[in-house]
Amino acid sequence: MDTNIANLVGEALKENPDLLLLPERWRNVPPKEQFLNAIEKERGHSYHLLQNLAKNNDVHIITGGIWEERENSKYYITSYVFDNKGNELGRQDKLHLYSYEPKIFTPGEYLQIFSHEPTHTKFAVLICFDIAFFETPRLAIEHGAELLLSPTLIRADGMYNWKIYLQARALENRVPVVACNPVGSIFGNTYTGKSKIISFKRGHTSPSVLKIKEGLESRRDIITERINLSFPNLIRKRRLSEKREQSSIKVVKS
């Protein structure tokens, strides 16, 4: 698995990216009865593997979802962000836990806004289910995020809904959304990839027009896109200025 990730990073580097985003789950998952064996110590093997890849390849890396145990003996699904020198810029714990996850993991309490200093870009990391709740992306946007990155673990029967969620979050916030989904099988569920980069066609302000790039289905794939943030920043400022404060809207029940 370490070799696979190193090879994928090497392949992606051919596009000279500013950021590399991994899916929520890229490590192997053992059978259910051995599930806890896949949980690492805080800042353990996966952390150091990806930290070294960032440092040795001069690229920022968002680590996807790492399962780890903290000093409080609680388990978290977390995504670390490394700069191109291997420095940890912070980590984002998964805020909304899905299906079986609340039985094992602890939800995060903080939403962090990260900075990509080479391009002066602010971004947030929303792990999979976090993108399904409109309040969380909006909170990130209202605190300066210009880009939403989402490491995901979306199985085949959820792909249709997932695409709608991503497009809705992009449109309602006028913000580019990048989501990375794995290919493979976990606990009998099939994951078919089709990662997405959603941005905006320049010049289309009302209505805005999405520009969507998708990865291959059921095949390992790497997708890249050069996103000029100046246009979505412009239309987002206009969109947020049109929003009324909820406190000014009265709810009447009949």
Per-residue pLDDT of the chain (254 residues; tens, 9 = 90+): 788 899 999 999 999 999 999 999 999 888 888 889 999 999 999 999 999 999 999 999 999 999 999 999 999 999 999 999 999 999 999 999 999 999 999 999 999 999 999 999 999 999 999 999 999 999 999 999 999 999 999 999 999 999 999 999 999 999 999 999 999 998 889 999 999 999 999 999 999 999 999 999 999 999 999 999 999 999 999 999 999 988 899 999 99
Containing structural domain, residue 77: 2-246
The number of distinct structural domains making up the chain is 1
pTM (two decimals): 0.96
> H-type helices in 122-198, by residue range?
135-142, 159-173
Is position 251 within any domain? no
Is position 253 within any domain? no
Is position 252 within any domain? no
Backbone angles phi, psi at 173, to 5 degrees: -110, -5
Is position 254 within any domain? no
Q: Which residue has the tokens 């996966």?
A: 46
- CATH of residue 89's domain is 3.60.110.10
Rounded to 5°, angle at Cα 197 from 13 and 46? 50
Q: Check residue 186 and give its pLDDT.
A: 87
Q: Check residue 134 and give its pLDDT.
A: 96
Is position 127 within any domain? yes
Q: Check residue 30 and give its pLDDT.
A: 81
